[in-house]
A and B are shown apart, each in its own frame.
Chain A
């Protein structure tokens, strides 16, 4: 096994699939020669040629539409949107056109496309270069939304996404690209889409989260453990569809839950998780399920992002609130 950071694991997943399946291709702004602004696709154009990995003109809607058309033609495009803040230019192609293709064609056509994009904050980037729009995409029917929290999952989930015959929106947290290295198997393996992962077992409270917040929750759980509170952490890995079975199993054990997301509080993934807990496990709850999230403001200018993004301290406060309810 090799030690890889998340960026390398993502690149490795693409390399594996490019080698295995000649229909896989990559395009987007600046992804070719230099390998993207984060160098995620670095070296792939050299290895697989300009026909399969290429720069497009600067036009997100066209990138989305190109992916759609190539999908119709039987290719498996991986389209990079340089930053999630720029998907609005392409939203029609992603959430209306690609996500409805199977439905509209009565199942004749697939949209086996992966839209890859960095998201999230905490890196003091320029305005609109940070945001968490997973809730927006997750609300759109017909597209899966995948968010890895570590290198192993990133590779396995991305390979699974590329092989999936429906469109997948694959979101890579900016702050995890280089955060740490982990063991990643060589060659192919997949991590099932739509399946959550219990990353830490505990009996007192369930913390349901994903992406960077898995690490924030882990820090909080380590702190809580010192006070004798055992938190179970569930990494959703796919935020649409949500793996409610794993959540319910956990809530049955702990009877208490909080949901942690970096995105703004209202109408997002956390709200959906809580709604589903209500539908499937309300009688197992000893306290209302709380949310720890960004406030309902625009993603802030860099100066205050560190206070805006949920901290371990805020997670601890919420855990104590549900325990003391």
Chain B
């Protein structure tokens, strides 16, 4: 169809949805193929992550963690998108995307060390294909395009996935990364978690675009929207995008519409810019309850399972935070030595000021 000149492309994009809020399958065609064990594993990860998030917020208040960006509410986008990938696939995260890293293989205590401002948090074990969380919004999007080109050049059938928020989709880096991925047909997935806010700025003040998925049009790659509170929709969307990428069909932009139940960070007061009413409406779509209802009906999950996983998560978090706390402290000399492969003379001299 040819478009009328000067017409703004405003038709809304329908979000892919598979599971209703009461756990009914409403889109059989898009139900991901998952074994019972996989379903239980996904549920385990969601409950575990929620508990860990609760604990992390408390640890932050006690001063035992440093910068921490809460994730509750976004478990479906984070855990679902990681679950849809293979171990060799590469993850380029933003600051909030710690769960994807941990479920991809980063030891939890290292995530805590990173939060506590310790370099060792970034020494990712061999074979874990992730980068550290990125603070510069948008930078990771460009990194993913480079990593994806690496896969392409090495003829490896792997994909890179990168995450940002609705706010991040406004950065120049976002457009540059998408355009390169389109131009070079790169095996990369741009996953935008649209949780409605960039710190305090609501989506309506971020862009006049009806959706972030629309932004793919300009660079010639598919853009789709999914219900980000529906883990099945997320898994299906990422699996399909990964398959296209592995088949040499290039990049996909996925916008997942989600919500974080907590503020942007621990130093932020969400009541200044969003209402209790709004929070209440979104909590009815809680991705964990939604999957739990589905699994309970299938006889795969019970309330006791949830309680058991919570206890397990608490114990693991306690043990891992202790491990982080017991890790030898950084020193300025050590920092100086980590700047170059061979420490230059002037830096050797500067160590004297700290010994």
Contact = CB atoms under 8 A, between A and B. Distances in A.
Interface of A: 29-30, 33-34, 37, 55, 57-62, 85-86, 88-89, 124-129, 265-266, 295-298, 300-305, 307-308, 314
Given A55-B200, A300-B330, A126 B66 contact: yes
Interface in B228-277: 267-268, 272-273
A33 B335 contact: no
B137 A58 contact: yes
Interface in B191-218: 198-201, 205-207
Contacts of B206: 57-58
B7 interface: no
A125 B135 CA distance: 12
Interface string B137-170: 1100000000000000000000000000001101
Contacts of A314: 353
B172 A302 contact: no
A49 to B, nearest CB: 15
Contact of A34 (B66, B67, B117, B272): B272
A128 B132 CA distance: 13
A83 B137 CA distance: 12
Nearest 3 interchain pairs by C-beta: A302-B117, A126-B67, A57-B170
B353 A89 contact: no
A57 B335 contact: no
Given A37-B199, A55-B205, 13 more contacts: A30-B199, A37-B267, A58-B168, A85-B135, A126-B66, A127-B135, A295-B353, A297-B332, A297-B347, A300-B332, A303-B117, A304-B331, A304-B335
Nearest to A37: B199
Nearest to A314: B353
B198 A29 contact: yes
Interface in B32-88: 66-67
Given A57-B170, A59-B172, A33 B332 contact: no
Given A33-B200, A33-B273, A89 B172 contact: yes
A303 B170 contact: no
A303 B346 contact: no
A33 to B, nearest CB: 6
Contacts of A55: 200-201, 205
B199 to A, nearest CB: 5
B119 A301 contact: yes
A58 B206 CA distance: 7
B4 interface: no
17 contacts: A30-B198, A30-B201, A85-B135, A124-B66, A124-B117, A126-B67, A128-B135, A128-B136, A295-B347, A295-B353, A296-B336, A297-B347, A298-B339, A300-B330, A302-B66, A303-B329, A304-B329
A296 B347 contact: yes
Contact of B207 (A30, A57, A266, A297): A57
B135 A129 contact: yes
Contacts of A296: 336, 339, 346-347, 350
B95 interface: yes
B323 interface: no
Nearest to B139: A89
A58 B136 contact: no
B314 interface: no
B171 interface: yes
A295 B67 contact: no
A89 B273 CA distance: 26
B135 A126 contact: yes
Contacts of B198: 29-30, 58
Contact of B170 (A59, A128, A300, A304): A59
A124 B66 CA distance: 7
Given A58-B201, A61-B172, A295-B347, A85 B136 contact: yes
Nearest to B265: A126
B293 interface: no
Given A30-B199, A302-B116, A308 B172 contact: no
Contacts of B354: 295, 307
Nearest to B170: A57
Interface in B172-193: 172-173
B117 A307 contact: no
A33 B206 CA distance: 14
B220 to A, nearest CB: 22
B167 A57 contact: yes
A124 B138 CA distance: 23
A264 to B, nearest CB: 10
Nearest to A266: B346
B118 interface: yes
Contact of B272 (A33, A295, A298): A33
Contacts of B330: 300-301, 303-304
B350 A265 contact: yes
A126 B95 contact: yes
A30 B206 CA distance: 11
Contacts of B137: 58, 86
Interface string B315-355: 00000000000000111100110110000001100110110
B241 to A, nearest CB: 24
Residue of A85, A88, A126 with highest tally of chain B CB at under 10 A = A126
